[in-house]
Chains A and B, each alone.
Chain A
Amino acid sequence: MENQDEKWNVKNKIQFKCNDVAFNIMFAPSLKNITMKIKFFGALAISLLVGLSACKKEQETPTVPNEEEVITTLTYTLTPTAGGTPVVFSFKDLDGDGGNDPVIVHADLKANTEYMGVIELLNEQETPAEDITAEIKEEDDEHQFFYQNDISGLHVHYMDQDDNGKPVGLKTHVVTGAQGSGVLTVTLRHQPDKSASGVSDGEIANAGGETDIEVTFNVNVQ
């Protein structure tokens, strides 16, 4: 190293450390000729590259975000008004969008029967599970559930209202008609236009807004 120093006529050198490897950079205030300068510059550029290349670290472990907004579970519980065992439809997707497939529980309803329906939303990634229903209730003027089905005689009516007297759909009254089967789609819209035509009657067409939930259940009316 000493010989080298002399050759370059080094007056100073600076050391820096990275990952416990030390790098020496020398600078030479008076290089005699052009060839030397070019060599020196080349040597410097290469050593700098090598030095910097060796200076790698590992990315820090990221903090897993607290996904408090996620809805993993929707249960729609229908209790016969005349008494009897409640019927439960549910949709559960623990890992959120993507990943594993959701678990869907379909159910059967009785013909010519009236039910009281209640929606419950949970974030089961948290322990204990977080109740998202409360969040919807708090912002009920910005949310509305829609219940669409293709089963003749099955009707869903809103049983709750927001502060403006518009429906929310957390509580519903369900009436079945004759036997049949089909699908029931439950949709939650965020920031729908509740005053648009038909929206208060449960028609989704003019509602707009973003879909927060859209789940479809198979329904047998027996």
Chain B
Amino acid sequence: MFNKFILLFFLSIGFLTGKTQECNYHIQGEVLDDQTNKPIPYVNIYLRELQQGDVSDSVGQFVLHNLCTKVYQIEISCVGYSEQHLNVLVNSDTSFTVKLRSNSEILQDLTILGTSSTASTQETAVLDQLTITERSHKNLANMLEDISGVTTIKSGNKVSKPVVQGLYGNRLTLLNNGVAQSGQQWGVDHSPEIDPLVASEISVIKGASALAYMGSSLGSVVIVNPGEIPQEEGWHGRALYVYETNGRGHGTNLQLRNYKNGWAWRTNITLKQNGDLHTPDYYLTNTGSKEANGAFQLEKRFSDKWKADAYISSYNTEIGILRGSHIGNTTDLEEALQRDEPFFTKSTFSYDIEPPRQLVNHHLVKLHTQYTIDSTQWVEVTYAGQWDLRKEFDVRRGGRSNIPALSLNQWSHFVEGKYHGYFGEYWSLVGGVQYRSIDNTNDPETNILPLIPDYLSYENGVFAILKRQWNSWEIETGGRWNSVDQRVVRITNGFPREIVRSENVYNTFGILGGVTYQIRNDSKLAFNIGYASRNPEVNELYSNGLHQGVGGIEEGDPNLKIEKSLKTTLSWRSQLSPKWNVSSEWYFQSIQDYIYLAPQNEIRLTIRGAFPVFKYEQTFAQIMGWDVGVVFKPIETLETTLKYSWIKGNDLTKDLGLINMPSNSLFASAKYDWNVDGFFSKVDFTLTNKYVFQQTNIVEGQDFVLPPDAYNLMGMKISGTAPMKKSEWHFFMTIDNLLNVKYRDYLNRQRYFADDLGRSIVFGASFSF
């Protein structure tokens, strides 16, 4: 395997011939704060391709010289503001204005005049570095929670997965530094194995079809992007410390980078630990967790045409599962449902993690090289290898609690070749071929029959996306073909045990059509329609046995068909006046042969008692939703926000609600900014309130218990920025669940057993240099 990838790197050497052309255009620009409209001095403007740049002067002006006719990628960065990458088409002397957004929670796309952006026509929300820093005590999914259309599905607070417009797990692709995360995505009790603190930004594409990425997405994608390393000589980086009262959690993150002689590198280390979390009334015994992650990124520019980079990351965590949520059978579950306080609740705090617990390691190596063919075209080759280890420990008899009850080992290899090109003034094309292999094996050390079988999966994909931009219009269209060959070996659960082999080949397709129209400079309309299909995953085909944590027998169906989705999204954002900003996103998705775990009219008797039987079935599902937000700024320093999210998922065949769909919610916030002189240059205070409605689309018989009541949570945040000569301090304090409200959330599986978290105060400080 290895040889092939080495080869590709060498190959690119062959392309090192360029041709010269007339290059005497220049760009003049101005950088403004998008809220105050005042010029920002000392902003770095950087043309990576030419390795040259400028710094804006005291009135926010900059100039770039000696430019050719082509599209340049310009990076604009300034401490305290979100970094922006613009693709600017130069075919004459041009000038434009860039508006940088400071630490705002409202996520919007950029305003660029006379240029094009690489962003898709699909709706994208971005968490910037500052927001990531201020939420550094959270895991990836919890960090994304307040983006419109994004919620989380949890098994306790430390095990959570993002849900985007109602879809998660097998139906949502997570990209870790451009590579589709390969692990145990199928389980609701499996958190994504990604450290969000490596990211310089995290984006969520709320799309209709994800064409460019391997994985089984039915539209949406979460992208964790470390970003390129700034080419600044000397030692730079960031140190971060955060403390959380609930769980007495400590977290620290250190980033260090340097650049010299064309080599740039960055390293990232995260350490986190917390003990038992607390509801308003009691400790959640055994909910501690530990995490230690490291990442190393290396970039080398060999010439102005060729660059290469390498990325290695290691994610390691141990997570305690609430002791009282570990049940033996449905009698235990019924008893647990009757209790106010879970069994095994201790009156004292502890950092100890006992079984039930999870031990997860995920390692990634990524090699990437990019070669610029000419001023409008470039090609990229990527290899990524992932190794995912998951061990889950149950409370077991006979001293076996330290033998995992589930032990999975997964290797995956990914290779991708990609082409980007601009044609004429308006057209651009991205195309690529992809290959992935996955080898998933169970370790027999468990002494338990595995729930999902061993398998090998080989996958090929081809995609192309074509875009055209002119005037106020942007049109995007493209397609994707994917082929999977699954080779499964399973152990039957009859006695004596037998080994059965099966092979499945699936071909899936994706098609997208999208259009955006800039109504005026301050108002944009986007419409997307996409078809996507997803092959049944191995867990859906072959799960077999007792899923003890869920208290049910789960059976796969080897005859499942491909899931087919048709989704449309319509979004509108508008700056109605300097004071009013409105956004609205509407989506409608029909999924034919939607695969879900359906409760059966069968109770199966085992020596542990009777268990309900769940079987993977297919139905015709429909998910629709509406996210609307209004931002009102009565005065320059006060920003108020109101957001409403509505979503409904239905099983049209059975005329029932879909299970595990997010509840509707209403969110309000008010943020006040002070620009001060002194140690702090900027201080802000935010008050938030979130009301989550009861999920009323679920009726009796669809779940062990009806969805919990509606709840209301308040929160607040104070943060301040103190710039030094060449560095910057940032301090923040957040209070979650300010009023210490007792509540349970429908999408947290722990709700069967215990209340959700009580008040938590978070203190954090970061030092950037």
Residues of B within 8 A of A16 (CB): 3-4
Interface status of B34 (Cβ within 8 A of chain A) = no
Interface status of B435 (Cβ within 8 A of chain A) = yes
22 A-B contacts (beta carbon < 8 Å): A14-B7, A28-B14, A41-B417, A45-B417, A46-B433, A53-B458, A53-B460, A56-B458, A62-B450, A63-B444, A65-B442, A65-B449, A69-B397, A72-B607, A91-B607, A93-B607, A97-B545, A98-B493, A102-B605, A135-B398, A212-B397, A213-B608
Interface status of B332 (Cβ within 8 A of chain A) = yes
Among A41, A53, A64, A213, point to the contact of B607 (Cβ < 8 A): A213
Per-residue contact bits, chain B 430-450, to A (CB 8 Å; 1 contact, 0 not): 000101010101101111111
Are A52 and B415 also in contact (CB < 8 A) when A139-B398, A190-B395 are? yes
The 4 closest A-B pairs by CB, nearest first: A214-B609, A211-B328, A210-B328, A208-B343
What residue in chain B is nearest A71 (Cβ atoms)?
Answer: B607
Residues of A within 8 A of B442 (CB): 62, 65
Interface status of A96 (Cβ within 8 A of chain B) = yes
Instruction: Name the segment of B212-220, B494-502, B639-647 touching the other chain.
Output: B494-502
Interface status of A120 (Cβ within 8 A of chain B) = no
**Are B488 and A211 closer than 8 Å at their CB atoms?**
no
**Are A93 and B444 closer than 8 Å at their CB atoms?**
no
**Are A96 and B491 closer than 8 Å at their CB atoms?**
no
**Are B456 and A58 closer than 8 Å at their CB atoms?**
yes
**Are A96 and B606 closer than 8 Å at their CB atoms?**
yes
**Are B444 and A56 closer than 8 Å at their CB atoms?**
no
**Are B444 and A48 closer than 8 Å at their CB atoms?**
no
**Are B495 and A62 closer than 8 Å at their CB atoms?**
no
Size class of the B contact interface (CB-based, 8 Å): 35 or more
Per-residue contact bits, chain B 667-687, to A (CB 8 Å; 1 contact, 0 not): 000000000000000000000
Docked pose: A63 CA to B13 CA in angstroms: 47
Interface residues of A (CB under 8 A from B): 14, 16, 25, 27-31, 34, 37-38, 41, 44-46, 48-49, 51-53, 56-69, 71-72, 74, 91, 93-102, 125, 135-136, 138-139, 143, 187, 189-191, 193, 205, 208-215
Residues of B within 8 A of A215 (CB): 607, 609
**Are B328 and A67 closer than 8 Å at their CB atoms?**
no
Interface status of B455 (Cβ within 8 A of chain A) = yes
Docked pose: A99 CA to B606 CA in angstroms: 10
Interface centre among A28, A53, A143, A214 (most CB of B within 10 A): A214
Among B435, B454, B501, point to the contact of A53 (Cβ < 8 A): B435
- With both chains docked as a complex, state the minimum distance between the C-beta of B509 and any C-beta of chain A, in angstroms: 17
Interface status of B419 (Cβ within 8 A of chain A) = yes
**Are B487 and A69 closer than 8 Å at their CB atoms?**
no
Docked pose: A34 CA to B607 CA in angstroms: 71
**Are B489 and A62 closer than 8 Å at their CB atoms?**
yes
**Are B326 and A210 closer than 8 Å at their CB atoms?**
yes
Docked pose: A178 CA to B665 CA in angstroms: 61
Residues of A within 8 A of B604 (CB): 97-98
Docked pose: A1 CA to B678 CA in angstroms: 75
- With both chains docked as a complex, state the minimum distance between the C-beta of B208 and any C-beta of chain A, in angstroms: 27
- With both chains docked as a complex, state the minimum distance between the C-beta of A105 and any C-beta of chain B, in angstroms: 14
**Are A125 and B495 closer than 8 Å at their CB atoms?**
yes
- With both chains docked as a complex, state the minimum distance between the C-beta of B370 and any C-beta of chain A, in angstroms: 12
Interface status of B15 (Cβ within 8 A of chain A) = yes
**Are B489 and A61 closer than 8 Å at their CB atoms?**
yes
Are A59 and B454 also in contact (CB < 8 A) when A49-B435, A208-B343 are? yes
Question: Which chain B residues in 311-341 approach chain A with CB under 8 Å?
Answer: 324, 326-329, 331-332, 335
Residues of A within 8 A of B332 (CB): 210-211
**Are B553 and A98 closer than 8 Å at their CB atoms?**
yes
Docked pose: A14 CA to B11 CA in angstroms: 12
What residue in chain A is nearest B499 (Cβ atoms)?
Answer: A61
In addition to A62-B454, A69-B447, 7 A-B residue pairs with Cβ atoms within 8 Å of each other are A27-B10, A52-B4, A59-B454, A98-B544, A190-B395, A208-B344, A214-B610
Docked pose: A61 CA to B329 CA in angstroms: 32
Interface status of B379 (Cβ within 8 A of chain A) = yes
**Are A96 and B495 closer than 8 Å at their CB atoms?**
yes
Per-residue contact bits, chain B 491-515, to A (CB 8 Å; 1 contact, 0 not): 1011101010100000000000000
Among B331, B491, B497, B545, point to the contact of A214 (Cβ < 8 A): B331
- With both chains docked as a complex, state the minimum distance between the C-beta of B9 and any C-beta of chain A, in angstroms: 10
Among B397, B456, B497, point to the contact of A59 (Cβ < 8 A): B456
Are A193 and B485 also in contact (CB < 8 A) when A59-B454, A96-B495 are? no
Docked pose: A54 CA to B15 CA in angstroms: 28
Residues of B within 8 A of A67 (CB): 447-449
**Are A68 and B447 closer than 8 Å at their CB atoms?**
yes
Among A95, A189, A190, point to the contact of B495 (Cβ < 8 A): A95
Docked pose: A38 CA to B14 CA in angstroms: 12
Question: Which chain B residues in 399-422 approach chain A with CB under 8 Å?
Answer: 400, 415, 417, 419
Question: Which chain B residues in 499-548 approach chain A with CB under 8 Å?
Answer: 499, 501, 544-546
Residues of A within 8 A of B324 (CB): 208
Residues of B within 8 A of A63 (CB): 444
**Are A37 and B606 closer than 8 Å at their CB atoms?**
no
Among A56, A60, A62, point to the contact of B485 (Cβ < 8 A): A56
Interface status of B374 (Cβ within 8 A of chain A) = yes
Residues of B within 8 A of A98 (CB): 493, 544-546, 553, 555, 604, 606
**Are B609 and A211 closer than 8 Å at their CB atoms?**
yes
Residues of A within 8 A of B458 (CB): 53, 56
Residues of B within 8 A of A193 (CB): 343
Residues of B within 8 A of A62 (CB): 441-442, 444, 450, 453-454, 489, 491, 499
Residues of B within 8 A of A135 (CB): 397-398
Residues of B within 8 A of A189 (CB): 328
What residue in chain A is nearest B485 (Cβ atoms)?
Answer: A56
What residue in chain A is nearest B610 (Cβ atoms)?
Answer: A214
Question: Which chain B residues in 551-588 approach chain A with CB under 8 Å?
Answer: 553, 555
Docked pose: A61 CA to B546 CA in angstroms: 23
Interface centre among B400, B437, B489, B608 (most CB of A within 10 A): B608
What residue in chain B is nearest A101 (Cβ atoms)?
Answer: B605
**Are A95 and B493 closer than 8 Å at their CB atoms?**
yes
**Are B493 and A99 closer than 8 Å at their CB atoms?**
yes
Docked pose: A149 CA to B585 CA in angstroms: 59
- With both chains docked as a complex, state the minimum distance between the C-beta of B346 and any C-beta of chain A, in angstroms: 12
- With both chains docked as a complex, state the minimum distance between the C-beta of B505 and any C-beta of chain A, in angstroms: 11
**Are B15 and A214 closer than 8 Å at their CB atoms?**
no
What residue in chain B is nearest A8 (Cβ atoms)?
Answer: B14
Docked pose: A79 CA to B480 CA in angstroms: 72
What residue in chain B is nearest A73 (Cβ atoms)?
Answer: B607
What residue in chain A is nearest B483 (Cβ atoms)?
Answer: A53
